[in-house]
Amino acid sequence: MSDRPPFRSPALRRLLLETLVICAVAMAVGLSMNYRMVLNAFTGKTVAALPIKTAQVAVAEFPDPIELVEVQELIAAGALLIDARHADDYLEAHLEGAISLPLGQVEQLLEGFRKDVPVDRVLIAYCNGFGCPDSFDLGVTLLEKGYQQVRVFEGGFPEWRDAGLPIKGEGL
């Protein structure tokens, strides 16, 4: 073994080959189990990257993403839609029944919001669909501020509109 160059050594070659096989099998299994997640991540379709958690924030402090069907069910049960987009976008057009709470102004508006909306009401934040992180960030902020049931409608305004559901606003 010692009188051969390293890569000619059969033992080393075998070791490297077996190591590669382990890595290849792990990749194949991992990717086939999670291909959708990885694909979504690389095409920007996941909910915004999880923000940095400090030691105080537990994992459960993130809003649950939900789909259109569930949004409709929750609204029927009394949930409140919250538009996380800029106030101008809201005035232009928004989901029927939604109220405006732009992420950029959340600190100023939250005090008034709190007076109107009890902390145990189910809230559904939305913005401009996949790839738009504002609704997720707003959801995190609302959870931090004490709201207990916050969801994020990932499809947001575009999915709602394309489904032919009612829209309100001045720009219509």
Partner 1 sequence: MNRLRLILFHGSRLFLGGIFVYAGMIKAEDPVIFAGQVANYQLLPYAWNYLVAAILPYLEVISGVLLVLNRWVRPSTLVLGILNLIFMVALTSLIVRGIDIDCGCFRPDADVQTSPLSALIRDLGIMLLILMTWFFERRKNREERD
Residues binding partner 1 (CB under 8 A)? 15, 18-19, 21-23, 25-27, 29-31, 33-35, 37-38, 40-42, 44, 46, 49-50, 52-55, 58-60
Query: Which residue's CB is nearer to partner 1, number 57 or number 167?
Result: 57
**One-letter amino acid of 1:** M
Give the shortest CB-21-to-partner 1 separation in angstroms: 8
Give the shortest CB-36-to-partner 1 separation in angstroms: 10
Give the shortest CB-98-to-partner 1 separation in angstroms: 27
CA distance from start to end of the chain: 80
Rg, the chain, Cα only: 24
Query: Which residue's CB is nearer to partner 1, number 94 or number 151?
Result: 151
Evaluate whether 92 touches 171 at the Cβ level (below 8 Å): yes
**Element spanning 162, H or E:** helix 156-162
Give the shortest CB-20-to-partner 1 separation in angstroms: 8
State the CB neighbour count (10 A cutoff) for residue 75. Answer: 18
Query: Which residue's CB is nearer to partner 1, number 50 or number 163?
Result: 50
**For residue 160, what are its two tokens?**
């709602």
